[in-house]
Structures are given as structure tokens and as C-alpha cells.
Structure 1
Amino acid sequence: MGIKIIVDSACDLPKSYLEENNVELLSLKVLYNEKEYDDMVSIQAKEVFDAMREGAVIKTSQAAPTQAKEVFENIAKNKESAIYIAFSSELSGTYQMAMLMKNDVLEEYPGLDVTIINTKGASLGIGLIVKRAVELANIGASKEEIIAEVEKYVAQMEYVFTVDNLDYLARGGRVSKASAFVGGLLNIKPLLHMEDGKLIPIEKIRGRKKVLRRMVDLMKERGGSFENQTIAISHGDDEETALVLKEMIQTETGANDFYIHSIGSAIGAHAGPGTIALFFLNKDYF
């Protein structure tokens, strides 16, 4: 019996991919119009982005403990071995909740075999980790081999992203409203990355073209062996810009394997439409 992979909806992989590869999904919650939705299941990113453009404030919360508990109970009952590749504990309570539910299930099912890994990441950074884990599981790799590779990916994954409108980060409390106002007037685009699971600003750049240029430069500085890895780009309902970034990277690095997909509802509710995020393995992986 193969290793079961579990992931939450912060991975931003399409639901069709998860279903085709028998990956178990835990949905984060999206709160909109006084209703609660399951990310990737009962609400889609396009609806969230359109609402945000019209001024709606979308809130999110962690995956439901009842869902995680049910998934873990089924793993135990079926005597399966599983790995849950989780959203950064610095950005959501989902990881901590899963640890609590695992301990609850262990009381009734002491043989439960679930390893929970904190990716300290988000979006297609997690998605690339999941895809690698699925590749290994599909060729019959052992749980220990998959965990070792997942942890290596976690340690060496780079996250570089920009948002198109600072107002969306201001609504979520990520920047002050005054900073968002001034940034909007000056066409300032913040460049951010992930450090130990947290969102950290790198610099502020004036203009969309310049920020894309800087993203490519940072990738060249930090990354390595681009022709031997998948480069992921996620976007907030802006595939056109994602494709521009892809072409820039392809021209300058020789990379030829790309994975492009929309940011999901839960991540998109904070980043907003127009967000562009880039994910790749750094030099230390190779």
C-alpha cells in the first residue's frame, strides 16, 4: 500500500490534480457575505477576486478540526501511512489544529501513522512540495524517503512575490492604511519573501515592469540549476502577467519546466487580485 498524501487548500494546486492523485484535501474557510465557504470546494478564487475589486473584505480561518479528525480516523481505520504537508504555522492555525487532532485520534487509535510537516510556506511553494511527494509516492518510495525529500524541499524553497494593490494588504493589517495610500499614489509595488514561515518585505519598487525585473534578478541570485527544476508562478487572476514573467525567466535562465496556476481563495483573500508569486529551489538544493 502506497503512502497517502494530505494537504490543505493553501497549496493552490487545482482540485482536479488532487483528485487524480488521490491526495486528501483539508479546506481552509473563507468568510464572505456573512457565509462560510470551503476553499476550493464551495467557493473559487475568481469569485473572491471579483468581490475584492468591488471593495469586499474577505476573511479566512483555519481548516475545520472535525474534517482533520475524520481524515486521520479514516487513515487509522484503513491502516494507511500518511504525510500531511501543511500551510505555514506562522500564517494559519491549521498546522497546530492538525497536531491537536492527531493527538486526539491517537488516544483511540494508537496505531495512527500520520506525519505532519510544517512547510513554513504557502501557495505553489507548497504545491511544488506536494507534487514532488506525489511523484515519489507514485513510484513506491518509502515514507522515510518521501519525508527526507519533502524536508529538503521545505528548507530550500524560495518564495518571492509582489502585490498589485497595497490596499488589500492594508485591509488584512499587513501594512498601514497610510502606507497603502501613499504607495498607491506613487505606484509603489512591494516585493516580499518568506523567512521562517513569515512574510517579510524585501524592498519597495516603483512600477510593475521594474518589480518583475527585480523578481527575475532575485531568482538568478538565489536559485540554481534552473533547467533541472520546475518553476512555479501563481497569480491573482492575472495570467497575462504570469506569462510575461515566465517568458522573462525562460529567456534569461534556460528554465523550460513551468507550473502556472491561480492563487486560491484563502491565500488570495489576503494578497488580492494582481498578485504575482514566484517559487523555485535555491542553490543549496543542488
Structure 2
Amino acid sequence: MNKVIITCDSTCDMTNAQIEEYGIKIIPLYIRIQDNEYRDGIDITSDVMFEKIKECGQLPKTAAVSMQDYLDFWKPFKEEGYEIVHLTISSEMSVCFQNCRMAAEEMGGVYAVDSRNLSTGIGLLCITAANLAKEGKSAKEIYDILMEKREKLNVSFVLDTVDYLAKGGRCSAVTAFAAGLLRLRICIEVKDGKMDVCKKYRGKMSVVLTDYVRDRLNENVDADLDYIYITDSGVSDEIRQKVKETVLEMRPFSKVLFSTAGCTVSSHCGPGTLGILFFEK
């Protein structure tokens, strides 16, 4: 049987329980707030990060995993005889993949996967990879399948505020001003490895999210019904459950998974964001 381990950056936004269940090993990105640096998900959580942002009035900066970080992280697994499949956030959003690929070439026996995505879109690829490894697939076989599966991800989020995207340079000031003035909720989707505005909603977030789920799971969408993630950066349990109910009204997914966005993703989308993420067939 092939000895394969699945590793990933902290941008996958899986919960600790999910990471343990699927045997994923995580390496953190870095979050810098004023003069302090933190490891995403280890030294700081998104809740604490938002509190610090309120205190200092400045958005954090994110820093990629370095080539040396990757080499140090993988070394123990290589010494134990593992082949490694490592997934990163989209190369259009970070230099993580470039650093990962260089480190993989130097170490050998590492397959670097550019997810072309973010958050639990990557998490879904991790679950796929872990299941394939459990079936006894080789690292190369897993890599090849992930290259196909990444093109089938359907990933989107509705933002409660566009301030974070605007300040981070990912949304124009005009769009941000208009959204605030008209009380619009912006829906962002990932296409071709990049984030883009796909739709605008108006009204209370609790109402908007119902319309959003119905739009994303309409009859024209041929969803793979194995897994769906509901991922947010701080909403009430009531909203989460309402979204789950709407999801299951639209499609009978086998597993509905919840997670909270980590610091890297939350620093761009801001608090109160929620998205649904799944594969299409």
C-alpha cells in the first residue's frame, strides 16, 4: 500500500476536528497586526483578530509560507517514508504556491497542488485527497485527480461589509461606497483562481442568505451531493442552521459541514461573511 500524507496551508479553514478526522497536516500562514506577527490558527483566531483590528483601527497584513518553512514542515514526513501531496491557496491570491513548488522540487517526492481556490474550497480538495489516500492511491494518482476536481469547485461568499475588501485593494472604492449607500450585500465567487463580484443583494443578511443559497443551488446547477461546506466569519448559530435548512431544501447533500474562516481569509472578507462551497459533477 502506498504511504501518502496530505498536507495543506491554514487557508483551508477546516475545523480541528475535521483536520484530525481526515488526517490532514496543516502549516500556518502569518498574520501581522501592527508590529506583532502571529501564526494563523495557532497563535491567533479570527475572533481575536477582529478584536485587535477594532482596538488599533488597522487591517492586518498576511504573509505567505516561505520555501524554508515548507522544507522544515515536510522533513519529518519524508524521514518516515511518506510521499506528500500539499495543497495551497490559489496562486492568483498568494505566493504560497510558488514557494511550495520550489520547495517541492528541492525536496522531491512532494506533489504541489495549486487549488485555484480558497477556504473550504481547498478543504473539499483535502477531504477528496484524504479519501483517495485511504483507498491506497499513490501521490501521483491523487495529484492527477485533484487537478480535475479543482475545476469543479463551486465557491462563493456573501459579505456583510465590503470595507475589508476595499481597504485590501480587492474591491474598488466606488463599489464599496455604492454598496454602503444602497445597503447592498456583495456576493463574491471564485473563478479562474480569482475572486470576483457575481451578484448584489439588498436587505437583511438573514433574508439575503436564503436567496443566495437558492441562487447557488438552482435547478441549473448539477451539484455533487457528497459534501457541502457552510463557512462563515462570525454569524449566529440561528443563521447557520437556517442556511443548512435552506441547503437541504434545495439538495439532499450527504454531509453538511460547518467551519469558521481562519484569519487569512477573514482578514479579506471581514466579519459576518458566509458562503456555501461544494463540487459540481
Give the TM-score, by structure 2 length.
0.90
Partner of 2:161: 165
**DSSP-derived class of the 2:76 partner:** helix
Letter in 2 for 1:199: M
- State how 1:97-136 maps to structure 2 within 5 Å: 97-105=99-107, 112-136=108-132
Q: Distance in 1 between matches of 2:17 and 2:35?
A: 28
Q: Does 1:202 align with 2:204?
A: no
Deviation at 1:74, TM superposition (A): 3.5
**Cα offset for 1:198?**
0.3
Contact kept, 8 Å, 2:24 with 2:126, in 1: the verdict is: no
- Structure 1 position 180, deviation (Å): 1.9
Equivalent residues of 2:111, 2:140 under 8 A apart:
no
Contact 1:229 1:257 in 2 (8 A): yes
- Could you tell which deviates more after superposition, 252-261 or 88-97? 252-261
**Residues 206-285 of structure 1: pairs in structure 2 closer than 5 A:** 206-207=202-203, 208=205, 209-221=207-219, 223-225=221-223, 228-240=225-237, 241-282=239-280, 285=281
Give the deviation of 1:2 after TM superposition: 2.3
SS at match of 1:150: helix
- Cα separation, partners in 2 of 1:90 and 1:60, compared to 1, 3 Å: same
CA–CA distance in structure 1, aligned partners of residues 212 and 166 of structure 2: 23
Decide whether aligned partners of structure 1 residues 206 and 199 sit closer, same or farther in structure 2, where only a CA change above 3 A counts: same
In structure 2, the residue matched to 1:145 is 141
Shift of 1:216: 2.2
After TM superposition, the structure 1 stretch with the greater mean CA deviation from structure 2, 145-154 or 55-64, is: 145-154
Structure 1 range deviating more: 69-78 or 232-241: 69-78
Aligned equivalent of 2:52:
51
Aligned partner of 1:109 in structure 2 is: none
- The answer for the alignment partner of 1:41 in structure 2 is 42
1:62 aligns with 2:60: no
Contact 2:104 2:111 in 1 (8 A): no
- Structure 1 residues 208-263: Cα deviation after superposition (integer angstroms, max 9, x where no partner): 3235413322222553255x311111101114333222111111223342001100
Task: Return the offset for 1:46.
Answer: 1.3
Between the aligned partners of 1:98 and 1:147, the Cα distance in structure 2 is 14
In 2: Cα distance, 1:4 partner to 1:211 partner? 36
In structure 2, do the counterparts of structure 1 residues 52 and 83 end up closer, same or farther at CA, with 3 Å as the change threshold?
same
Given the alignment of the two structures, is residue 26 of structure 1 paired with residue 22 of structure 2, yes or no? no
Structure 1 stretches of 5 or more lacking a match? 106-111
Which stretch shifts more, 40-49 or 260-269? 40-49
Identity %: 25
- Does residue 1:186 correspond to 2:182, yes or no? yes
Q: 1:49, 1:236 within 8 Å by CA — same for their partners in 2?
A: no
Name the SS of the counterpart of 1:5 in structure 2. strand
Q: CA deviation at 1:169?
A: 1.0
Stretches of structure 2 that go unaligned for 5 or more consecutive residues are none
* CA-CA distance at 1:18 after TM superposition: 2.7
- Whole-Å separation in 1 of the counterparts to 2:156 and 2:77: 35
Superposition misfits of 4+ residues, deviation over 6 angstroms: none
